[in-house]
Amino acid sequence: MTHIAVVDYGMGNLRSVSKALEHVAPGHKVLVTSDPAQIAAASRVVFPGQGAMPDCVRELDARGLRDAVIAAAAEKPFLGICIGLQLLFEHSEEGNAAGLGVFAGKVKRFAAADMHDVEGAKLKVPHMGWNQVYQSQSHPLWRGIEDGERFYYVHSYYVAPEDQSLDAGFSEYPARFTSCVARNNIFAAQFHPEKSHNAGLKLLSNFVQWDGGN
C-alpha cells in the first residue's frame, strides 16, 4: 500500500495533521514531505498550510512543489486544509497574491469593523474557535457527521468561489461563508479537522477511506 503524503512547504506545524492521520489510519504510512516525487507516488494527498498566503505561495514555489500539488489535485483523493483550501483559488486579498487557480474565485478578508453578533457585540478577527458547519451537499467525507456539527477554525480570510456548486459546507460569521469546497477528487476545508476532536477525526477517517468519487 502506498502512502498518504502531507505536503510540507515550510508553512506551519504539520505534526498535528500527521498525528491525527496516523490516529485514524493505523495501517497507513503517513509521510510529511517536500519531495515532488513522494507526492506523485502517494495514494492520497493532504495539503495543509498556515500563515500568510503570499508566503505560502513563495515557499511552495521555492520547493518546486506547485506542479506536484496541481497534478495531485487533478487525479487522486486530495484534502486541502485552511490555507490549503485558499491556495486552490485564483487570487487572495491577503498580500494581493495569486493562488494556484485550480478553482475560479477569490479569497477575501472578514470586514472586522462591520461585524456584530445578534446582540450587537463586536465579532473578532481572526474567526477563532468552534463554529457550526452546515453541509450544503452530501459527500462521502460528511458520512457519520451531523449537519451543523462544530469544527475548530482559525482564519481571517475566506474563499468566495465563482461557481456556487463547489460549496460543500458553510458557516456563519455573521454572514454565511463557504467553508468547504468539493469537486471530483478534491475536498478542502477552512477549519482544522486535525484539531476538531471526534468530528474532525471522523472527517479524516472518511478521507482515508475515500476513493475520490461521489
The binding site for another protein (CB under 8 A) comprises 11-13, 15-16, 19-20, 23, 50-52, 112, 117, 121-132, 148, 150, 152-155, 171-174, 192, 194-197, 200-201
What the block records as the C-alpha cell of 191 is: 477549519
Least distance to another protein, CB of residue 199, Å? 10
DSSP assignment of 57-75 equals HHHHHHTT-HHHHHHHHHH
DSSP type of residue 122:
B
Q: Is 94 a catalytic residue?
A: no
> Is 134 within 8 Å of 148 (Cβ atoms)?
yes
Least distance to another protein, CB of residue 40, Å? 26
* Angle, alpha carbons 50-56-57 (nearest 5°): 155
Please, which residue, 96 or 198, has the CB nearer to another protein?
Answer: 198
Least distance to another protein, CB of residue 200, Å? 6
Q: Is 197 a catalytic residue?
A: no
Please, which residue, 15 or 143, has the CB nearer to another protein?
Answer: 15
The catalytic position among 82, 94, 149, 180 is 82
> Is 108 within 8 Å of 93 (Cβ atoms)?
yes
The dihedral sign for the CA sequence 161, 57, 188, 117 = negative
Please, which residue, 36 or 49, has the CB nearer to another protein?
Answer: 49
> Catalytic site residues?
82, 192, 194
